[in-house]
Amino acid sequence: MYRDDSEKMNQKLLGLNGDEAAAYAIKQVNPEVVAAYPITPQTIIVERFSEYVANGLVDSEFVAVESEHSALSACVGASATGARAYTATAANGLALMWEILYIASGMRQPIIMSIANRALSGPLNIHNDHSDSMGARDSGWIQIYCENCQEVYDSHITAWRIAENINVQLPIMICFDGFTISHTMENVFTLNDEIVQNFIGKRVFPKITGHLGETDLRLNPTCPITMGAMDLQDYYFEHKVQQHEALLNSLEVIESVENEFSEITGREYGLIQSYMMEDADVALIGMGSVMGTTKYVVDQLRSNGIKVGLIKIRCYRPFPKEKLVKAISNCKVIGIIEKSLSFGSVGSPLYQDIKTVLYDYEKKPLIIGYVHGLGGRDTSPENLKQIFQDLLKIDNLTKKIGNQQYIGLRE
């Protein structure tokens, strides 16, 4: 992970859970406005951050809003004036923000939001799956899925540079699994405040031509502009395609910002992470904390000489199509494991995306979709080992196995 000990030495090792890692990173970023409403399992972020505010450790204006709808609205308003704005939520809180999600991305506001992934009601469930953020995959936000607390910390620093890039100007959701990451304490290497501040720098603005001439894309009384105004049949279409292109262009920006970050920290993540894929016959593709468990299982199987590998999708929106196709080019069979169910659809979201991408390529691996861990059900190493074993003898199974399988479901 580190090129030498000096990189490690310059970083302070703290025991933080995922929520605390997010709050600690945001404390170091010191955004002008934080507006958030506590909801399990994101609560600790709001608690810690309000402590930082009360103790005078940050300059942020903390807005104790009455709902998530207001939380994101406050962030949109703050961000439009040129402030850095941060919020955090989960599940039903994200659902209540829905209307503003599209307004934030449509107004091109680089807001950073943490999501401690949790199942959507009803029935009421506070535990982890990806049904909340998966529903928001088409809202025009960049979506980053983290595997562990270290990745949560690092993502909350790099995100600002990505979102605020002149060619991007889009909000980012940093998703990490509720409880599995949010409430699990791990060793996290943290940078010192000054290095974080130097890395993120000051917020930059694209130059635009308003009706009074050239100005920054922000609300400024000396050169007023209108944001989010009526946009009908004449221009809405063009503006939406612009937004789509900005999201696709962000792939490049994400990579370059992460490269720069790895120069300081020695930690590299990338859009996707391939593990033991060079000669793998069978691979599992997935997102979030379960990929850590999958690495453990891959190591076990590899020690028995079985050629398996995994790909962790870290950046889900924009979808890293080229990287993925390259990574799986030698694979014969692929299992896609995901913690969400797309009701009435042909498969879960990641499965749909990957199958769609591969339709255009001649070399198509066999793909099986697996839904696991809904409502926080545990996915054990044994479950994953079973999937690998099923996939390894897939030639005999092709007729028996369907497109969508469930792991750990009592049928």
Partner 1 sequence: MSKLKKKSELEPGAIPFKSSKEYETGDWGITYPKIDYNKCTKCTLCHFFCPEGAINVREDGYTEVDYRYCKGCGICSHECPVKCIEMIVKK
Query: Least distance from C-beta 249 to partner 1, angstroms?
Result: 11
Q: Measured between alpha carbons, how far is residue 101 from residues 17, 243, 291, 333, 339 in Å?
A: 27, 13, 28, 36, 22
- Note whether 9 binds partner 1 by CB under 8 A: no
What does the DSSP 8-state code read for residue 363?
Answer: S
Q: Which is nearer to partner 1, 238 or 322 (CB)?
A: 238
Region of 128 (left: φ > 0; alpha: ψ -120 to 50; beta: rest) is beta
- Note whether 81 binds partner 1 by CB under 8 A: no
Query: Least distance from C-beta 297 to partner 1, angstroms?
Result: 44
Q: Which is nearer to partner 1, 185 or 208 (CB)?
A: 208
Binding partner 1 by CB under 8 A: which of 108, 137, 307, 372? 108
Query: Least distance from C-beta 108 to partner 1, angstroms?
Result: 4
Cβ atoms of 67 and 92 closer than 8 Å: no
Give one DSSP letter per residue of 285-325, joined into a string. Answer: EE-TTHHHHHHHHHHHHHHTT--EEEEEE-EEES--HHHHH
Binding partner 1 by CB under 8 A: which of 54, 185, 204, 241? 241
- Interactions with partner 1, residue window 157-176 (CB under 8 A): 169
Q: Which strand (E) or helix (H) includes residue 214?
A: strand 213-216
Choose the stretch contacting partner 1; rule: CB under 8 A; options: 22-30, 89-97, 101-109, 375-383. 101-109
Q: Which is nearer to partner 1, 9 or 230 (CB)?
A: 230
- Interactions with partner 1, residue window 197-236 (CB under 8 A): 206, 208-212, 217, 225-229, 231, 234-235
Question: Distance between alpha carbon 139 and the CA centroid of its chain, in Å?
Answer: 13
Query: Least distance from C-beta 114 to partner 1, angstroms?
Result: 24
Total interface residues for partner 1 by CB under 8 A:
24
Q: Which is nearer to partner 1, 55 or 226 (CB)?
A: 226
Residue type, 183: H
Q: Does residue 106 sit in helix, strand or coil? A: helix
Count how many Cα atoms sit within 13 Å of the Cα of residue 380 in the half-sphere of its side chain.
Answer: 5
Q: Which is nearer to partner 1, 164 or 177 (CB)?
A: 164
Q: Which is nearer to partner 1, 242 or 329 (CB)?
A: 242
Q: Measured between alpha carbons, how far is residue 406 from residues 121, 131, 410 in Å?
A: 20, 15, 9
Query: Least distance from C-beta 169 to partner 1, angstroms?
Result: 6
- Each residue 118-157 as x (binds partner 1 by CB under 8 A) or -, in order, gives ----------------------------------------
Nearest to 150 by CA among 176, 171, 130: 176
Q: Which is nearer to partner 1, 9 or 229 (CB)?
A: 229
For the chain, how far is it from start to end, CA to CA, in angstroms? Answer: 42
Choose the stretch contacting partner 1; rule: CB under 8 A; options: 154-162, 237-245, 252-260, 268-276. 237-245
Q: Measured between alpha carbons, how far is residue 138 from residues 49, 87, 105, 133 in Å?
A: 29, 19, 11, 10
Residue length of the chain: 411
Q: Which is nearer to partner 1, 234 or 278 (CB)?
A: 234
Choose the stretch contacting partner 1; rule: CB under 8 A; options: 56-64, 171-179, 239-247, 363-371. 239-247
- Note whether 242 binds partner 1 by CB under 8 A: yes
* Spatial separation of the C-alpha atoms in residues 376 and 360, rounded to whole Å: 35
Q: Which is nearer to partner 1, 76 or 277 (CB)?
A: 76
Binding partner 1 by CB under 8 A: which of 16, 45, 104, 107? 107
b/e code 156-171 from CB counts within 10 Å (16+ = b): bbbbbbbbbbeebbbb
Choose the stretch contacting partner 1; rule: CB under 8 A; options: 124-132, 238-246, 344-352, 392-400. 238-246
Q: Measured between alpha carbons, how far is residue 351 from residues 66, 128, 248, 367, 392 in Å?
A: 37, 19, 20, 8, 19
Q: What share of the chain is helix, strand, coil (3-state, %, to 5)?
A: 40, 20, 40
Q: Which residues bind partner 1 (CB under 8 A)?
A: 106-108, 169, 206, 208-212, 217, 225-229, 231, 234-235, 238-239, 241-242, 246
